[in-house]
Amino acid sequence: MKICFFKYMTIFLTGGMIYYFMEILTRNYSHFSMIICGGLCTVCCGAINQIKKNIGLIWQMLISAIIITALEFVTGYIVNIKLGIGVWDYSYLPFNIMGQVCLLYSGLWMVLSLIIIFVDDGIRHYLYDEELQEYKLI
């Protein structure tokens, strides 16, 4: 039980910090809520190939994009709309939902989810001695 907690905390914090610093590198700012959102995204997306063994990378990336988009929407709704902090606003982009998510970024999340998949699998293998994943495209 103790190792399980530390494993998921390691995955959560690593993913959260990568997410946070990627925003700083690309936008020059971020918000601590992105650590929480990024951590949840990493744990959830990393769990896909734990639950469904032998899933293809493309399918895992597609499911990850849906998960990330949903978590981004929830985070944006709470942080930007309910709390009024205004960390981001995508209302100027086409195919957006309430300015919190948009189709363009969902596609980007699909591509970037590959990093999440490899980070999660790397942590599980190198730090927690889990079997290294074998990847297939589809």
The DSSP output letter for 52 is S
* pLDDT at res. 2: 79
How far out from the chain centre does Cα 2 lie? 24
Question: How far apart are the C-alpha atoms of 132 and 122, rounded to whole Å?
Answer: 8
pLDDT in tens, 19-78: 999 999 999 999 999 999 999 999 999 999 999 988 999 999 999 999 999 999 999 999
Between 20 and 1, residue with greater pLDDT: 20
Average pLDDT, the chain: 95
Contact residues for 9 (Cβ-Cβ < 8 A; gap 6+): none
**pTM recorded for the entire structure:** 0.93
* pLDDT at res. 88: 93
The SS3 of residue 89 is coil
